[in-house]
Structure 1
Amino acid sequence: MADSQTKAAGKQPYVLPQFTPKDYSTFFLAGALCATLTHGAMTPIDVVKTRIQVDPEMARMSLLSGGRRIVAQEGASALLTGFGPTAVGYFVQGGAKFFGYEFWKKQFASLAGDQDTAVKYRTAIYLGASSFIIIIIIIRFSFFADILLTPLEATRIRLVSQRGYATGLTTGFARLAREEGVAGLYAGFLPILCKQIPYAIGQFTVNEFCHELVFRNMSEETKRSLSQPAKYAISLGSGVVAGFAAAILSQPADTLLSQINKGHGPEGSMPYRLRVLAQQSGFRGLFAGLGPRMIMTAGLVAGQFLLYGAIKDALGAPPGLEIHKESDKKI
């Protein structure tokens, strides 16, 4: 009935890719690998960024000056502090995020009913799929991913912000659990959700529109003849812009997350503590460390999209669903 109504209205036939369980498992694995590899590689920048956020003496330092200070006082190995929790935590969270985005973008697109409607409401589809962390029908995926990520992130921040706190992931996790219990391990759960939602929106939605902007300014012949290096260049450029957007949108929550896991703020409920810390920090304080984080996030997001595509290709997975305004073909 829906197909006949679509044809009667003169709209394009609507064909969605039929992803198999194997395809979705590949999406998860590719997302997990690209996230853990890129976040692990960015550990030195993350160390400097976190110190700038929680150490008043470093609050006005740049990425380079902050890095020099840490190396001079603690040695070069200090820049790799927290590598273990970062790699482990983002393996799970990255897999859930990329898998969830592929899955829910298709589900939301199918609700449109036809290609023209999907293209018309593509922004809503992108936003819905990229913010699946808080959508009730999706929360079962990312909720558990953040349950796993939160204590690892808390451990990472303690290792980075408190010199000599522990020797690594296992000892740091054990000390935090022993001294502060579940409350300490999950102190950052609310701020990490507040951070991941705008981050995911910036990462996926802005990336989609950057690709669309590029392709809308190309002829069909040019698009068909694009070389692999050109495709990688487009993906890299789109990822960098998306990374800048993700960093800016999520920076206030990232700053509050670092402060909460460092033990800053008054006693009370988490919303109250976050409000007080935000007021104390002010606009400028909430964006402390934005420069290093923009560099880090641009590298993270661009690297993740490049690796995600390469890993999917290597594993023989199909391409994800695309909904671009310039396209006249079936999606």
Structure 2
Amino acid sequence: MTSTPERKPLPFVANFAAGAIAGISEILVFYPLDVVKTRMQLDTGKTTQGLVGTFKSIVKEEGAGRLYRGLVPPLLLEAPKRAVKFAANDFWGKTYLGLSGRAKMDQQLSILTGCSAGATESFVVVPFELVKIRLQDKASTYKGPMDVVKQIVRKDGLLGLYVGMEATFWRHLWWNGGYFGSIFQVRAMLPKAETPQGTLLNNFVSGSIGGFIGTLINTPFDVVKSRIQGTVQTPGVVPKYNWTYPALITIFREEGAGALYKGFVPKVLRLAPGGGVLLLVVEFTLGVFRQALGPPYL
């Protein structure tokens, strides 16, 4: 009995394109939840309006269009961001398999690979995230994305666009570690799909659970990142929120443990099904590439 040869890994460009298409699909569907999440995280009070209250407040006071305020930067970012995420995950996965001498990915390697992919991704996203946060802030008076960039560069130079780099690094490292590590475990637990529809369902379920777990782990880091990037720095004044872990302690002391999870509900409502959509679209797109390239990629 002859064994079936393993299919050849797809080229980097295929993983890059699949990640880009998936990212744009996800953000177009779930972006308003990101606006609500940021508003909740920037609120430094001990009480919060919650998801529904914040949503209603934005629509009532600022109009429904405000729910898409700051869409351009993340939309421009999503293609390279998601593409880098999945391409980096593929790259680091192959690298760690080679270094460890293991034949197949396991739970530990999946987490390590995800964390490395998140760290890689963070270097790409910081300027876009900074512009997005500044536009989503209720007090924002910027005319648009380029106005944010011009004012930051004029005041702080090009390095000003990398405010919050350290917090973004931790946010992405922990989310990707939780996301890709969970996907591996959940896929192993699900019954093997016998049909293409079953494969799609398994991908959606594992991606959604991965998105939930990644969000559960990284929300405190996201709160800190929003606070750091949402604060316009004053020369000679030490920012209240500066480095990630001290900022976590400050928020905990002043606002309580619950404040570290401000915006969790809209964030998880976006990133749990969003994670499922991401994985679904990525796997579907990679399947299209395999069909187009033919053997030995099938």
State whether residues 164 and 228 of structure 2, in contact with CA within 8 Å, keep that contact through their aligned partners in structure 1: yes
For residues 256 and 24 of structure 2, the distance between their equivalents in structure 1, rounded to whole angstroms, comes to 32
1:230 maps to what in 2?
A: 198
For residues 19 and 233 of structure 1, the distance between their equivalents in structure 2, rounded to whole angstroms, comes to 23
2:276 alignment partner, one of 278, 299, 302: 302
1:250 maps to what in 2?
A: 218
1:104 maps to what in 2?
A: 92
State whether residues 134 and 140 of structure 2, in contact with CA within 8 Å, keep that contact through their aligned partners in structure 1: no
Normalization by structure 1: what TM-score? 0.77
Q: Which structure's CA Rg is the greater one? A: 1
1:193 maps to what in 2?
A: 169
2:145 maps to what in 1?
A: 169
For residues 218 and 130 of structure 2, the distance between their equivalents in structure 1, rounded to whole angstroms, comes to 17
1:287 alignment partner, one of 261, 265, 284: 261
1:63 maps to what in 2?
A: 51
For residue 202 of structure 2, what is the amino acid of its counterpart?
A: I
For residues 255 and 89 of structure 2, the distance between their equivalents in structure 1, rounded to whole angstroms, comes to 33
* Cα RMSD, aligned residues only: 2.8
Normalization by structure 2: what TM-score? 0.85
For residue 75 of structure 2, what is the amino acid of its counterpart?
A: A
Query: C-alpha offsets along residues 102-158 of structure 1, whole Å, 9 cap, x if unaligned?
Result: 12212222344354xx46xx1221122111158xxxx7xx2xx53331111011001
For residues 16 and 110 of structure 1, the distance between their equivalents in structure 2, rounded to whole angstroms, comes to 16
State whether residues 39 and 138 of structure 2, in contact with CA within 8 Å, keep that contact through their aligned partners in structure 1: no
For residues 273 and 247 of structure 1, the distance between their equivalents in structure 2, rounded to whole angstroms, comes to 19
Partner of 1:267, secondary structure, is coil
For residue 263 of structure 1, what is the amino acid of its counterpart?
A: T
For residues 64 and 196 of structure 1, the distance between their equivalents in structure 2, rounded to whole angstroms, comes to 27
Deviation of residue 55 (structure 1)? 2.4
The structure-2 alpha-carbon separation of the partners of 1:84 and 1:114, relative to structure 1 and needing over 3 Å to count, comes to closer
Deviation of residue 183 (structure 1)? 4.8
For residue 279 of structure 2, what is the amino acid of its counterpart?
A: F
For residues 44 and 109 of structure 1, the distance between their equivalents in structure 2, rounded to whole angstroms, comes to 39
1:270 maps to what in 2?
A: 243
For residue 228 of structure 1, what is the amino acid of its counterpart?
A: P
**Range with greater deviation from structure 2 (105-114 or 41-50):** 105-114
Q: State, as a whole percentage, how many aligned pairs show the same letter.
A: 20
State whether residues 21 and 79 of structure 2, in contact with CA within 8 Å, keep that contact through their aligned partners in structure 1: yes
Deviation of residue 289 (structure 1)? 1.3
The structure-2 alpha-carbon separation of the partners of 1:155 and 1:317, relative to structure 1 and needing over 3 Å to count, comes to farther
Deviation of residue 198 (structure 1)? 0.8
**Range with greater deviation from structure 2 (148-157 or 248-257):** 148-157
For residue 97 of structure 1, what is the amino acid of its counterpart?
A: K
For residue 38 of structure 1, what is the amino acid of its counterpart?
A: E
For residues 102 and 268 of structure 2, the distance between their equivalents in structure 1, rounded to whole angstroms, comes to 38
Query: C-alpha offsets along residues 220-241 of structure 1, whole Å, 9 cap, x if unaligned?
Result: xxx4xx2222221111111111
The structure-2 alpha-carbon separation of the partners of 1:181 and 1:317, relative to structure 1 and needing over 3 Å to count, comes to farther
For residue 124 of structure 2, what is the amino acid of its counterpart?
A: L
Query: C-alpha offsets along residues 39-97 of structure 1, whole Å, 9 cap, x if unaligned?
Result: 34322000001101112469522222211110000000000011111112232121111
Aligned length: 284
